[in-house]
A = this chain, B = another copy of it.
Amino acid sequence: MVSSFVLSRVGIQGVKRPVTINRGNRSIVLVPSFDISVNLPAEQKGSHMSRHVEVIHRAVDQAIVGDNDSVEKLVERVAEELLKSHEYATYADVNLHADYFMKKRSPDGRDVTENYKIFAEAKIERDGGIPWRSIGIEVAGMSACPCAMENVRVLLKDDLKNRGFSDEAIGILDEIPVPTHNQKNRAFIEVGMNGEMDIEAEDLIKLVEDNLSSPTYEILKRKGEADLVLNAHMHPKFVEDIVRDIIDAFLDRYRELPDNATLHVRSISEESIHKHDAFAERITTLGEVREATMYERD
């Protein structure tokens, strides 16, 4: 009987460690949760698991005290340490996710600290050329439904007509946004490629927030709250609109990235009128979406 196969990966998950990222003149403390693994060749027995764990932790420590100016470089260094310490492994995979905080100016003009999620992953092969890295962010913003808004507009007009209002008065409903259902929308983007990426997490956050019905804020005075609600209702969007618009904006903003760079975009709408969530998602390469764009432009 045969007793061993080439395992895809073996490792540990849920290791939390505080990490300092020195980004320009800022120093950011993150508390990421790491999942890290290497492949295990068929001929390799499992007896190095305790060393495996020990080494992984050391790798995290060495990477942490080093010169880290991005989470992508951090996970890549951890992956490099893994391959150094596991001479039998030919592949290492390291990813992390963490809360991320960014200062923003709210609609009513105050500086607030907003909460996001950040993701990074590195996949490296021994003697395998350029490492693959990704960086991603998740934003809790707002989506407002365009379909319900139009149907509500019809209902309101009918009602006003029945109540005897003039056509001129009723016509004002075409000049303003009317009620629709809106809700928290969790929008996610992750970009991956072989080699150095020059992508700022905070630029991704802004790009995503610009393509929701509206970004959200932790502190809003009444005027700011009303401005945000109006802004969202001026930009009603389905989940699939949000995904498409984020991809559009990304292509426009990052023209220099190679065709084989990967793009993962997802929008989850925590529907206020239903008990379930709605979602749209696209996993693709920049080449594929650029080609689709060319085709449509013809």
B-binding residues in A (CB < 8 A): 1-18, 29, 31, 37, 40, 42, 46-47, 49-51, 53-54, 57-58, 99, 101, 112-115, 140, 142, 145-148, 151-152, 154-156, 159-160, 163, 165, 168-173, 175-184, 214, 216-223, 225-230, 232-233, 238-241, 243-245, 247-248, 252, 268, 270-284, 289, 292-293, 296-297
Contacts and interface: CB of A to CB of B under 8 A. Distances in A.
A49 B165 contact: no
Tallying the copies of this chain within the complex gives 4
Given A29-B18, A279-B13, A293-B2, A184 B7 contact: no
B292 A53 contact: no
A282 B15 contact: no
A177 B273 CA distance: 17
Given A172-B165, A252-B1, A279-B37, A42 B151 contact: no
26 contacts: A3-B245, A4-B296, A5-B292, A7-B280, A8-B284, A10-B239, A11-B278, A13-B268, A14-B276, A14-B277, A15-B276, A29-B29, A37-B279, A40-B280, A54-B219, A57-B112, A142-B272, A148-B229, A156-B230, A172-B173, A179-B179, A181-B229, A184-B271, A216-B271, A217-B273, A218-B275
A234 to B, nearest CB: 10
B50 A218 contact: no
Given A42-B292, A225-B50, A57 B218 contact: yes
B54 A221 contact: yes
B16 A99 contact: yes
Contact of A296 (B2, B12, B170, B173): B2
Contacts of A6: 282, 292
A31 B33 CA distance: 13
A148 B276 contact: no
Given A7-B281, A8-B282, 6 more contacts: A2-B296, A2-B297, A50-B148, A51-B221, A179-B179, A216-B273
B165 A220 contact: no
Given A2-B293, A182-B183, A248-B3, A279 B220 contact: no
